[in-house]
Structure 1
Amino acid sequence: MSDEPFLVVEDLTVRFPTADGLVQAVTDLSYSVEMGKTLGIVGESGSGKSVSSMAVLGLHDARTARIDGSIRVGGKEVVGLSESKMRELRGNAVAMIFQDALAALHPFYKVGKQLTEAYLVHHPSATKREARARAIEMLERVGIPQPDQRIDQFPHQYSGGMRQRAMIAMGLINDPSLLIADEPTTALDVTVQAQILDLLQDLQREFNSAVILITHDLGVVAEMADDVLVMYGGRAVEYGPCTDILTHPEMPYTWGLLSSVPDVTADTSARMIPIPGNPPSLLSPPSGCSFHPRCLYRDKVPGDLCSTTLPALTPAGRGGDHVKRCHLPNPDAIYATEVLPEIAPELVKEMP
């Protein structure tokens, strides 16, 4: 039996031809997720987070998307797989919780109808009665009150938090080995967010699922992720264990993401510092390091490397599985002496 992680993405490239040119949505992306582990994918809008995950599910139109590289799910190559084979995989071995539950659920069909259909597609020998019982069981498991009654209601009759729970129930109804959660708590208030995240953790422990969590919220990543993939301009710019990424980041873009997070527990001298400028156009990405036009530390790199040469993913200074894409020499020291004093002075005071 292979020791390969359940999901292995290698050199994934996704392009979309348009009237204005070729959109380079994802370029040479590689990562993996093991059973029972959670990978957090973070980055600004347009960085390629959702595009790469939709490729895992085969949700891009083959007529309008050019996909290269390798995606192996449970040891099976899915790039180039026929649509009929992808339908067998999608919703069964791999499921996705979409960002907007109201848009993802069909408004004309009752929630129970949509749940039972998702079950019957992958269990053709099951009866409608068995499928309904399974749907009620899943609604109850995700915390929907009175599931035997709620199953016969339409999505608009659910609150935002309940719709998100129904989406999770649909994603888990066939016990998938991999669950992709695309911004599952974005539109919810903080109390419901906490409930949804606790639910995902409980269900992951119960099913031992591999989870990909796509989010802008580094607080969510700190709570849930085992590993973190930071994306910018369609590429991985930092990747490694969550603790390493959050405590010893070595890519200025990651510093910018951390600097942009408010800390309500910090003293009044702490600052929230936004990343200057805008994300790059994926029609004509910058040469060299795609972050260099916005980077506040590019003057610390000798010559014009940042603007002319794309940095490779190289091991971070602390070693291990932590890698970063940056020309900056000695980034750990720069982070400790220049970045941390600005965003978290109380941490600097505690350092030996």
Structure 2
Amino acid sequence: MTVPHQTPANAGTFLSVRDLYVRFATEDGIVRAVDGLSFALERGRTLGIVGESGSGKSVASLAVLGLHDRRSTDVRGEILLDGQELTTAAESTLEKLRGNRMAMVFQDSLTALSPYCTVGRQIAEPYRKHTGASRREARQRAVEMLRKVGIPQAALRVDDYPHQFSGGMRQRAMIAMALVCDPELLIADEPTTALDVTVQAQILDLLKDLQQQTGSAIVLITHDLGVVANTADDLLVMYAGRAVERGTVREVLRSPQHPYTWGLLGSMPRLSSDVAEPLTPIPGAPPSLLAPPPGCPFHPRCAYPQEVGGERCATERPVLPPGRGAACHLPPDRARTLFAERPGTRRDRGVDGS
């Protein structure tokens, strides 16, 4: 496994999320999209957030940037960016922070980019707003950023519209727009979607370079555990709007404690696996966030409630301990034993084969 980079000397908790709740009112009821999420991120470190679609990863990230419509969304809890409270901050305050101190690479580049403006203008606009640069300087900066993310003939393509870019090129342009002001906090929501493996490596290297140069904090949302293993320092596993496991990447991927994390690892192919060895999918489907199950939200899909005894999994909500741990009623020692006994589990079970 790749050794995480060294944390710079000015390290400290830069982003703190405590007891975050995000709820949407719908005709069918209240959607509990994020249900009591807490995590912290230091400068110079990368936090990977993984989980199935609908687990609340993107919704929580949008809440950090204050991008939810306050008229229809109930956001509660505490979000601190370098000690500054964001949950109750005025929109004018958030506008000064977005694109400057914090930025986001959105998952869907087709809807995130405006079809009415050239790609270069969309990259240059936040740079001019936050730095006071001239039009010429901002245009030069846009061309520079397009080159950095691998757009060929950047000086010519800067005047193209999004529909003139391929899906992968739009994704790279959106990354350029997020990085143009060298943000201190970057939230990357599936940043390598629609990119081939060589461009993926280039983009991930670009994020690492930004972090080494500026000491920025990065939140990496992805379904690719291989990307997490080689890019992130810490890992947060989400399920049904809650954090169910956290720790360093090495701790979580080599010795996971939550059955849901086991399922994510078991459903991923590995080069070291026997070609005849089938993948082990997670049975069932994620719960409805309109009416999540009581107790542990994963218990209807879990194969181990009998290990706890009685109806505890169905009635008592497990608590995620501070630091390394899992929100599971299984004792950590028993969890390690059960994971080692799972079919397909190898001694070299690291995602990258380490």
- TM-score higher than 0.5: yes
Report the counterpart of residue 318 of structure 1 in structure 2.
none
Once the two structures are superposed, the pairs formed by residues 198-347 of structure 1 within 5 Å of their partners are 198-268=205-275, 270-314=277-321, 321-329=323-331, 330-336=334-340, 338-339=341-342, 342-345=343-346, 347=348
Q: Which of 20, 23, 41 lines up with 2:31 in the alignment? A: 23
Alpha-carbon contact 2:11-2:43 (below 8 Å) kept: no
Alpha-carbon contact 1:269-1:345 (below 8 Å) kept: no
Q: CA deviation at 1:207?
A: 2.8
CA deviation profile, 1:247-283 (whole Å, cap 9, x unmatched): 0100000000000101133223543100000001000
For residues 186 and 132 of structure 1, the distance between their equivalents in structure 2, rounded to whole angstroms, comes to 26
For residues 201 and 314 of structure 1, the distance between their equivalents in structure 2, rounded to whole angstroms, comes to 30
Alpha-carbon contact 2:120-2:160 (below 8 Å) kept: yes
2:193 paired with 1:186: yes
Report the counterpart of residue 59 of structure 1 in structure 2.
67
Amino acid at match of 2:20: L
SS at match of 1:343: coil
- Percent identity of paired positions between Structure 1 and Structure 2: 58
Q: CA deviation at 1:192?
A: 2.9
CA deviation profile, 1:58-83 (whole Å, cap 9, x unmatched): 00011111111100011100011111
Relative to structure 1, is the Cα distance of residues 249 and 119 closer, same or farther in structure 2, using a 3 angstrom cutoff? same
CA deviation profile, 1:148-167 (whole Å, cap 9, x unmatched): 21111112222333222211
Q: CA deviation at 1:346?
A: 6.4
Amino acid at match of 1:324: A
The unaligned stretches of length 5 or more in structure 2 are 1-9, 350-354
Report the counterpart of residue 173 of structure 1 in structure 2.
180
CA deviation profile, 1:31-82 (whole Å, cap 9, x unmatched): 1111111000000011000000000000001111111110001110001111
RMSD: 1.7
For residues 298 and 63 of structure 1, the distance between their equivalents in structure 2, rounded to whole angstroms, comes to 41
For residues 216 and 346 of structure 2, the distance between their equivalents in structure 1, rounded to whole angstroms, comes to 39
Q: CA deviation at 1:109?
A: 1.3
Amino acid at match of 2:325: V
For residues 122 and 319 of structure 2, the distance between their equivalents in structure 1, rounded to whole angstroms, comes to 45
Report the counterpart of residue 39 of structure 1 in structure 2.
47
SS at match of 1:63: coil
Amino acid at match of 1:86: L
Alpha-carbon contact 1:108-1:154 (below 8 Å) kept: yes
| Aligned structure 1 segments of 4 or more residues deviating by more than 4 angstroms | none
Report the counterpart of residue 151 of structure 2 in structure 1.
144
2:106 paired with 1:98: yes
Alpha-carbon contact 1:28-1:235 (below 8 Å) kept: yes
Alpha-carbon contact 1:248-1:332 (below 8 Å) kept: yes
CA deviation profile, 1:183-240 (whole Å, cap 9, x unmatched): 1122233333233223322332233211100011111110111000000010000011
2:118 paired with 1:117: no
Q: Which moved more, 1:248-257 or 1:132-141?
A: 132-141
For residues 122 and 195 of structure 2, the distance between their equivalents in structure 1, rounded to whole angstroms, comes to 22
For residues 211 and 145 of structure 1, the distance between their equivalents in structure 2, rounded to whole angstroms, comes to 27
2:82 paired with 1:74: yes
Between the two proteins, the alignment pairs up a number of residues equal to 338
For residues 35 and 292 of structure 2, the distance between their equivalents in structure 1, rounded to whole angstroms, comes to 11
Q: Which moved more, 1:225-234 or 1:145-154?
A: 145-154
Q: TM-score, normalised by structure 2?
A: 0.91
CA deviation profile, 1:104-144 (whole Å, cap 9, x unmatched): 11122111111111212223x32211211221222222222
Relative to structure 1, is the Cα distance of residues 60 and 333 closer, same or farther in structure 2, using a 3 angstrom cutoff? same
Amino acid at match of 1:40: G
Report the counterpart of residue 203 of structure 2 in structure 1.
196
Q: CA deviation at 1:292?
A: 0.1
Alpha-carbon contact 1:271-1:344 (below 8 Å) kept: no
Q: CA deviation at 1:4?
A: 4.4
Q: Which moved more, 1:262-271 or 1:250-259?
A: 262-271
